[in-house]
Chain A
Amino acid sequence: MNFVTGYCRLNEDFCAVNGEVISRRHIDSEDSWFKQIYKEQEFVYPKFYKMDLLSQAGFLGAELIKRGNLRVASSYPDDEIAMIFANGSSSTDTDIRFLRSYEGNSSPSPSLFVYTLPNIVLGEIAILNKWYGENMFAILPNFEPGFFINYLNITKAGGSKAALCGWLEILEGKVDVFLFFVEENEETGTPLNAENLTSLFNQKPSIN
């Protein structure tokens, strides 16, 4: 049986890990919201600054889940952690930024261009963690627990023992991100089923 053993929720106003708010957006800050979290949590990964918002969200979610669950980084060989991500708007947010980067006779930005695919975030997380397991990024109308549950079974059949899953919806200022880590037989977690996933997705986090 599969269990959710860590999760991170991120929207326009707060970032929560395992149900507890760890960061709130400061409206008057000069830094972007994701940069505020990066600095507050004292991450050191300069490549973060070059990433698009989708990859920044994936980086933050994955790293924060790892901090809350040390097994993520230490208990699995590099090919046993799968990644299963989805969203509704693909890379549209970055596509728009890329389009704007060469309006008015400016040169297109190569560093933005490389992020004009949604699955680049998977590559960023895989490179950072040296995870070489199965991965996929689906475009779906809404957060759909059944998709993750079904695809987890497929990756499990292929030899994966754990998976980082994520709903990463980012478009023109709207942020709706939910990352969760799934492991087999770790009964300290929440049993993985559609009802529990929906409940974690909609959970109102507590303030620590």
Chain B
Amino acid sequence: MDILKEDLKRQIIEQLNLEDITPEDISDDNLLFNEEGLNLDSIDALELIVLLEKYHGIQVTNPDEGKVAFRSINSMAEYIRKRKS
């Protein structure tokens, strides 16, 4: 089990108030902004930026980076690891 990815799922559920969803419902490669994924919206994207700063100390200043990083749990984890390395 990848602890960072599991933490991210819990953090997303809390930060975005996804009360009907459990971490088990989110697969690592689910597209976060797709109807077949979590169907997040633009306000949720802002919350993800807040989440990265709040839980991981990472500031997303380049919108293009966010677009790639927020595709899925996999890409978020990859982005966090890259920024921290």
Q: How far is the CA of A110 from the CA of B45 in the complex (A)?
A: 9
Complex partner residue of B18 from A49, A107, A109, A110, CB under 8 angstroms:
A49
A107, B53: Cβ atoms under 8 Å?
yes
Interface residue count for A (Cβ, 8 Å)? Answer: 9
Contacting A114 at CB < 8 Å: which of B18, B43, B53? B43
**Once the chains bind, are B17 and A50 in contact (CB under 8 Å)?**
yes
Q: Does B80 contact A (CB under 8 A)?
A: no
Contact indicator B46/A110 (Cβ below 8 Å): yes
Does B18 lie within 8 Å of A46, measured CB to CB?
Answer: yes
CB pair A49–B43 under 8 Å, yes or no, is: no
**CB pair B17 A107 closer than 8 Å:** no
Q: By DSSP majority rule, is chain A's interface helix, strand, loop, or mixed?
A: helix
A50 to B46, CA, bound (A): 14
Which of A49, A106, A110, A114 is close to B17, meaning CB atoms less than 8 Å apart?
A: A49
Contact indicator A111/B20 (Cβ below 8 Å): no
A111/B16 in contact, CB under 8 A = yes
Q: Nearest B residue to A31 by beta-carbon distance?
A: B19
The distance from the CB of B55 to the nearest CB of chain A, in whole angstroms, is 11
Q: Which of A81-119 contact B (CB under 8 A)?
A: 106-107, 109-111, 114
Q: A110-B43, A111-B43, A114-B43 are in contact. Are A49 and B20 (CB under 8 A)?
A: yes
Contact with B along A6-38 (1 / 0, CB 8 A): 000000000000000000000000000000000
Q: Please name all residues of chain A whose beta carbon is closer than 8 Å to the beta carbon of B16 when the two chains form the complex.
A: 50, 111
**CB-based contact B20/A109 at 8 Å:** no
| B83 located at the interface, meaning its Cβ lies under 8 Å from any Cβ of chain A in the complex | no
**Minimum C-beta distance from B17 to chain A (A):** 5
B50–A107 touching, CB < 8 Å: yes
Give the complex CA separation of A81 and B53 in angstroms: 43
Question: Is B78 an interface residue when CB atoms closer than 8 A count as contact?
Answer: no
* B54 adjacent to chain A (CB < 8 Å): yes
- Listed by A's residue number, 11 A-B pairs whose Cβ atoms lie within 8 Å are A49-B20, A50-B16, A107-B54, A109-B50, A110-B46, A110-B50, A111-B17, A111-B43, A111-B44, A111-B47, A114-B43
